Amino acid sequence: MSSEEPKGAALPVHAKDDPMVDAENAPSKSALKKAAKEAEKAAKKAAAKEKEAAQRAQQAAAADEDKAVDNYGSITKAKETGVIHLKKLNETHADQEITVITRIHNSRVQSAKLAFLMLRQQGETIQAVMAAAGDDVSKQMIKWATAIPVNSFVRVTGLVKKPDPAIASASISNLELNVKKIYEISRAMEMLPMQVKDCERPPPESNEEGQSDATGPIVTLKTRLDNRVIDFQTDVNQAIFTISSAVEVLFTDYMVKAGSRKFNTAKFVGAATEGGAGVFEVTNYFGKSAYLAQSPQFYKQMLIAGDCESVFEIGPVFRAENSNTHRHLTEFTGLDFEMVFTNHYHEVLTFAENLIVFIITTLQKSYAAEIATVQKFYPRAGDFRIKDNKALRLNYADGIRLLKEAGVDTSEQDRFETDLSTAMEKQLGKIIREKYDTDFYVLDEFPMAVRPFYTKRHPTDPNLSNSYDFFMRGEEIMSGAQRINDAGELEQSMRAKGVDPTAEGFQDYVNAFRQGCRPHAGGGLGLNRIVQFFLGLDNVRQATPFPRDPQRLRP
Amino acid sequence: MSSEEPKGAALPVHAKDDPMVDAENAPSKSALKKAAKEAEKAAKKAAAKEKEAAQRAQQAAAADEDKAVDNYGSITKAKETGVIHLKKLNETHADQEITVITRIHNSRVQSAKLAFLMLRQQGETIQAVMAAAGDDVSKQMIKWATAIPVNSFVRVTGLVKKPDPAIASASISNLELNVKKIYEISRAMEMLPMQVKDCERPPPESNEEGQSDATGPIVTLKTRLDNRVIDFQTDVNQAIFTISSAVEVLFTDYMVKAGSRKFNTAKFVGAATEGGAGVFEVTNYFGKSAYLAQSPQFYKQMLIAGDCESVFEIGPVFRAENSNTHRHLTEFTGLDFEMVFTNHYHEVLTFAENLIVFIITTLQKSYAAEIATVQKFYPRAGDFRIKDNKALRLNYADGIRLLKEAGVDTSEQDRFETDLSTAMEKQLGKIIREKYDTDFYVLDEFPMAVRPFYTKRHPTDPNLSNSYDFFMRGEEIMSGAQRINDAGELEQSMRAKGVDPTAEGFQDYVNAFRQGCRPHAGGGLGLNRIVQFFLGLDNVRQATPFPRDPQRLRP
C-alpha cells in the first residue's frame, strides 16, 4: 500500500527553532526590533502554514476514507444471498445485480482506480471490472482484490453489463460484471504446481517431459495426472467428466427401462480363477488370501441362473496385467449386462447395439457443447460418425475379408486360431469408416478358439461361436456372447481349454447350471474406453478420474 | 414308460402246430375224414382268430399312437414364438393361447390322463393342467412332462382359463393354463441341495443349523447363502433385489436431477491412511503393495476441490474389520455424495433428508407389491413409518435428552467423549417412533470428539461439529458432515487427532485444499443397510447378493 498511503501533514516550523535567532552573536537594538518584527512575521507565517497544513491533512484524510470497507474482505463479512452459476448467466441478466462464487482465473491492475479480474467457474469465464467510482468500490478495495492469489475462491456481487466490444478472452464474451462487492472464500497458495490456463492446452503427442512451444509451458499428461485436482478445473476436463457421467446414467436408464435390475456383485473372491495370473491378491483377509474379481462375469451369470433374467452392474474391474498402453488400466469401470433370451442370442445382440446407439445419439444431441469443448483441444479424431443412427453388424469372417481385400496378411486369422491384432482392428476401423461411413460397428461369430470357455459354440459351424465384439473408431469397447447354460457342456468346454472345472474358483459357477438355467447372453463394456474413443482422446487416462496403472497409485 | 407301452398283438396260432394233429397215432378213414373236417374247421377257426387278432393289434396300435409327439420333448422341436412373462399375465388373456418360459415348481400326477404342473417364474406361480384329450395332449406327453425334475426350465404353450374355484396354492390364483405344448429348455439335477419352496419360509431367528418345525425343513441363512443361486429364486429374494436396484436407481435419478455427476474413484490407493488397521492390502501390485479404499471420502473431496461442485459415487467399500454382526460386511455398496453449498451446510443436510424421503416414499408408492411379499416373510418390523413424508431432525443433544428422560445412563455421552452405542441408538429409535411417529430421523451437531478429523468444527461451540447421522428404525444408515476446506485448518485438526498430515497417504488429500476449495458437505450411505432397515430384514446379508464377511468368501 506504500504509494497510495496518506503521507500526513507537513510538520509546522516553530519560532523557537528559527535559524535566524542566534543569542551568542548578539545584535543591535534596532536590529533586535527588526528581528522581533521579522520573528513575529515568521511566526504568523508559520501559524498560517500550520493551519493550512492541518486543513490539507483533514482534506486528505477525508479523500482516503474507505467508504467501501464493508464491500470486501473475509467471507465472514458477506451477507447470505442467493447465487447464480456462471453457466446459467445469459443476456436476460443484463443490468441486474447478481452474486457468483468463482475462482479468480487471473487479475490485471490498470491503475489505482481500475482493475480487471477474470472469474472462472467449472471452466466458464467472465470478465469482472473493478472501477473506483462512487461509494461501492474504493482504491483500497481494488488493491485488496487484485492481491488475492490466482485460483482463490471469491464471492462477487456485481451489475451485469453488455460490453462493447465483446470480451474475446472470456468464454462468456457477451457479458461482464461491474463489481460491487467481493469477499474471499478460500485462498490458494501463491505458487501452484501448475496453472489451469496452461492445462487448457492439449498435451504433446509424445508426452515427453520438458517440451515447450511458442504459446507457453507444455504440461505433460504425467504432470496433469500428478496434479489431478488442478487439472480437473479445465473446461475440457469438466466436459469429459460430464460426458462420462452421462454415459453411465444413460446406460442405467436404458437398462432400467428394459426391465433390468442393477446388482453389485462381490469384488472379493475366494480363489483365483485363472491360476493366479492376472489376479490381484489380498493377503490379509482374516488369516487367508482373497482375490479381486477380474470381471463380474461369473456372478452375473449366477444371478441369471438365480432367475434374475436381466441384470446389469457398474463397478470396478481389476486386472493385474502389466500392460502399459494408451488403453489399458489396472482398474477400470465395467458396464456389464446379462439377460435371458427367448429364441436366439441375436435378440441380446440387437438390444446391445440399440443401447450403444442410444447412448451415442443422446450424447450428440444433449451434450453438443461439451463435445465441442473437447474437440477444440483434441481435434484429431473429428466427429463421431454413426450412419443412419444404427449399428453396422458384420460377421468376423466379413471383417477378415475386408482386411484381405485391403492387402493385409490374414493367414493366421484364416486358420481360426488367432484373434485380430490391435493394429488390424484399427485398420479395419478405417476401412469400415471409408466403406460404410460409420465409426460404430459390430463383429459377430468369432472363432471359438479365440473366445473364453464359457462361450456358446456356433450351432452349425464348430469353428465359430455365438459371440461378438463392439468397436468404436476401430477400438474394442465391448466383448460379449451367448454363454453355455448347461453344466455338462460347460465342463466339457473348460476341459477342452485346459481349465479344471473342479478347481475351487469354479465350483460355485459350474454348480449354478446344474439346477436349470435359461439360455442367456450379455456383454461387458469399458466405460473409460467408450468415453475415450467416442471423444477421440489419446489416452484412456484422460477419461479416468484417478487412473491406476502398473506405475501409478497416486493421487 | 413300461406300464403304458403298446404290448403288440397276441401271436396267431398256426394250423401246422395244431396239437390235435398227431401222425404217428394213425386214425381210420372215417376218422381221417372226420379229422380232416375238424382240421378244416380248426384251420378256419384259426384263420378267423388270426384275422381277429390282427384287427385287434391294429386297433390297439391306433389307440396308442402318439398324435401329440410334436407337442413335447426337447426345446429343439419348439417353433419360435413370442412369450409372455408370468408377471404380465392377467384376466384379459383368458381363452387366449400363450407361451411362457418357466421352471417346474412341482408336478402332480392324478392319473395317466391327468396331471398338474405348478409353473414358476421369478417367484410367480401358476397352475398348468395337462389333460389327455383330443390330439394336443397324449398320455405319453403327460408321462414325459411329469418325469421332468423339479426346477427344470420348460417352454409351455397353453390356453389361459379362469379356474373355479381359484387355485389357492398358486400366486396367480385366478388363472390357470391348459397345456398344449411343453418343451424342456434346461434340466435340473434330480436332487437339489435345497428346495425353493423350503427357502420361502423365513429363516429361524437363532440361525442355528439343524432346527426343524412342523411345516418342513428349516433352511438356515448359512445354507441359503451357501446355495445362493437357488435362494435367489424365491419370491422374497426377487422382491428384495428389485427394491435394492430401485434404491440405487432412485438415488441416481435424484442426484442427476440435482445437477450432480457420477464418478468412479480409485479403489486402489498407494498408502494405507489409518496406519494399516482396517485396511486390506494387495501385495502383488507390480512389485509393491496397494491398499483398498475404505471409502471414497478423500477422492470425492478432491473432486470438489477440482471444481466438480456436486458429485456422487456408487461403488464397493472395503472394511478389514473383524465385525461379525447382523449389519457389518467386509465389502458393501456405498452411495456417496458430496457438494458445495452457498451459505450453510444445512443446505446439504436438507438436500440429503429430501433424498431419503424421496427414495422411501417412491418405494412405498411404486413397489408396494414387493414390500408386501417381503413383509409376509419378515413380518416382525412392520410398515416403515415416515410421518408427513418428511425427515425429523433433532440435535444430538436432543437425542441424549430423550434417552436421559427414558432413564438411560448417558453420563459418558454428556462429556462429549463417547458416541451413542448401538443399543442406545436402537432405544432412541423406539423412543422417537413412539413420540414422533416416524422411523426416519436425523441427528445433527455431533460432538467433535466422536467424528473424523476432516469434520468441520461447530462455529460457536468448540465441543460440537457440523455433522449428522441418519437413522432408519434406530439403525444408522448414513454419516455425513461439513468438511474442512482449508489445508492449514485440516492439518491442525489431523494433529489434534493424532494423525500425521505429512504421511504418504494424506499428502495428495491435504494438498487438494492448498489451491482453493469451496465449503462443502456430504455423506455416505450404505445401500445394503438402507434395504435391510427399510424392509426390516434381520440381517444385512439378506440384502446383499453375495455377502462377504470375515468367514465368507463364497459363492
At B333-352, the pLDDT tens digits run: 999 999 999 999 999 999 99
Give the tens place of pLDDT for each residue, B168-183. 999 999 999 999 999 9
What confidence tier does A63 reach under pLDDT thresholds 50, 70, 90? low
Say if B214 is an interface residue toward chain A (CB within 8 Å). no
Q: Scan residues 89-128 of A and list those with Cβ closer than 8 Å to B.
A: 101, 103, 121-123
Average pLDDT over residues B530-553: 96
A458 is catalytic: no
Contacts of B269 in chain A (CB under 8 A): 553
Highest mean pLDDT among A419-428, B27-36, B343-352: B343-352
pLDDT tens digits for range A197-239: 888 877 665 544 444 455 667 888 999 999 999 999 999 999 9
Residue B16 predicted with pLDDT over 50: no
Above 50 in pLDDT, residue B149? yes
- Work out the minimum CA distance from A51 to partner chain B, whole angstroms: 51
Of A463-467, B92-96, B318-322, B376-380, give the lowest mean pLDDT range: B376-380
Interface of A with B in 514-533 (CB under 8 A): 514-519, 527
Report pLDDT for A204.
61
SS3 call for A110: strand
Least confident of A35-49, A164-178, B514-528: A35-49
Specify the higher pLDDT residue, B195 or A204. B195
- Cross-chain Cβ contact B516/A267 below 8 Å: no
The mean per-residue pLDDT over the stretch B413-436 comes to: 92
pLDDT at B61: 62
Give the rounded distance of the alpha carbon of A44 from its chain centre. 75
**3-class secondary structure per residue, A443-487:** EECCEHHHCCCCECECCCCCCEECEEEEEECCEEEEEEEEECCCH
Average pLDDT, chain A: 89
Region B285-310: mean pLDDT is: 96
| Average per-residue pLDDT for chain B | 89
Per cent of chain B over pLDDT 90 is 74
Residue A56 reports pLDDT greater than 60: yes
pLDDT exceeds cutoff 60 at A338: yes
Test A515 with B290 for CB contact under 8 angstroms. no
Rounded to the nearest angstrom, the minimum Cα separation between B243 and chain A is: 9
Q: A316 to chain B: which residues are within 8 Å by CB?
A: 264, 267, 315-316
Over 70: is that where the pLDDT of A27 sits? no
Contact between A107 and A146 under an 8 Å Cβ cutoff? The reply is: yes
At residue B58, does pLDDT exceed 90? no
Tell me whether residue A204 is exposed, middle or buried, using C-beta atoms within 10 angstroms of its C-beta: 0 to 12, 13 to 18, 19 or more. Answer: middle
Q: What is the pTM of this model?
A: 0.87
Q: pLDDT-derived band of residue B277, with 50, 70 and 90 as boundaries?
A: low
Of B80, B268, B342, the CB nearest to A331: B268
Q: Does B296 touch chain A (CB under 8 A)?
A: no
Does residue A294 belong to the interface with chain B, where contact is any CB pair within 8 Å?
Answer: no
Residue tagged 453438443 (cell numbers): A368
Shortest distance between the Cα of B439 and any Cα of chain A, in A, equals 26
Q: What is the pLDDT of residue A8?
A: 37
Chain B residues lying within 8 Å of A123, measured CB to CB: 307
Cβ neighbours of A157 in B, within 8 Å: none
pLDDT for B50 equals 77
Q: Is A285 on the interface with B (CB under 8 A)?
A: yes
> How confident is the model at residue B320, as a pLDDT?
94
Query: Using the beta-carbon criterion (under 8 Å), do B342 and A188 form an inter-chain contact?
Result: no
Sheet with B392-395: strands ordered across = B261-262, B310-318, B331-340, B520-526, B475-483, B467-472, B440-444, B392-395
* Rounded CA separation A183/A158 (Å): 12
Is the CB of residue A224 less than 8 Å from the CB of residue B555? no
Is residue B37 pLDDT above 90, yes or no?
A: no
Indicate yes or no: CB of A516 within 8 angstroms of CB of B188: yes
Alpha-carbon distance of B10 to B12, in angstroms, equals 6
Q: Locate the chain B residue with the closest alpha carbon to A276.
A: B284
Answer whether A308 sits within 8 Å of B232, measured CB to CB.
yes
**Is the bond into A462 cis (omega within 30 degrees of 0)?**
no
Chain B residue numbers with beta carbons less than 8 Å from the beta carbon of A264 are 314, 316, 333, 527, 545
pLDDT digits over B150-161, tens only?
A: 999 999 999 999
For the question of residue A4 being annotated catalytic, the response is no
Query: Nearest by CB to B269, which of A282, A343, A553?
Result: A553
pLDDT at A404: 95
A476 is known as an active-site residue: yes
Residue with cell 414325459: B144
Return the pLDDT at B200: 81
Distances in whole angstroms, Cα of residue B265 to Cα of each of A197, A242, A244, A403 = 25, 15, 13, 39
CB B436 within 8 A of CB B392: yes
Residue of chain B whose alpha carbon sits nearest to that of A238 = B308
**Res B21 pLDDT > 90:** no
Q: What is the pLDDT of residue B36?
A: 63
Provide the pLDDT confidence category of residue A41 given band limits of 50, 70 and 90. Answer: confident
Q: Which residue has the higher pLDDT, B6 or A270?
A: A270
CB contact under 8 A, B518 and A153: yes
- Residues B58-74 have a mean pLDDT of 81
**The predicted structure's pLDDT at residue A213:** 52
Tell me whether A232 touches chain B (CB under 8 Å). Answer: yes
Q: Which residue does chain B place closest to A81, by CA atoms?
A: B343
The string of DSSP codes covering B259-281 is: T-EE----SEESS-TTTTTT--E
- Report the Cα–Cα distance between both ends of chain A, in Å, rounded: 40
B262 and A269 within 8 Å at the Cβ level: the answer is: no
Residues of B assigned a catalytic role: 319, 321, 327-328, 476, 479, 529
What does the pLDDT look like over A486-497, one tens digit per residue?
999 999 999 999
Confidence band for A3, pLDDT divided at 50, 70 and 90: very low
Percent of chain A with pLDDT over 70: 89
Could you give all domains of chain A from N- to C-terminal order, each with its CATH number?
70-186 (2.40.50.140), 196-231 (no CATH), 235-543 (3.30.930.10)
What value does the mean pLDDT take over residues A339-363? 97
Asked if B151's CB is within 8 angstroms of A515's CB, the reply is yes
Read off the pLDDT of each residue in B313-326 and give the average, rounded to a whole number.
Answer: 94
Q: What pLDDT shows up at residue B7?
A: 39
Count CB neighbours of B83 within 10 A. 18
Query: Among residues A553, A545, A546, A528, which one has the least CA distance to residue A326?
Result: A528
Q: What is the pLDDT of residues A159-193, one digit of tens each?
A: 999 999 999 999 999 999 999 999 999 999 988 88
- Best of A119, A150, A196, A229 to substitute, by most chain B Cβ atoms within 10 angstroms, is A229
- Grid coordinates of A352: 446391445
> What is the share, in percent, of chain A residues with pLDDT greater than 90?
74
Asked whether the CA dihedral B350, B355, B360, B362 is positive or negative, the reply is positive
From residue A56, how far is each of A42, A64, B294 by CA, in Å? 20, 12, 68
Confidence at residue B45, expressed as pLDDT on a 0 to 100 scale: 78
pLDDT reported for residue A199:
85
Q: How close is the nearest chain A Cα to the Cα of B186, in Å?
A: 5
User: CA A49, CA A47: separation in Å to the nearest integer?
Assistant: 5
Asked if omega into B555 is within 30° of 0 (cis), the reply is yes
- pLDDT exceeds cutoff 70 at B22: no
**Is there a contact between A515 and B320 if contact means CB atoms under 8 Å apart?**
no
Whether the per-residue pLDDT at A436 is higher than 60: the answer is: yes
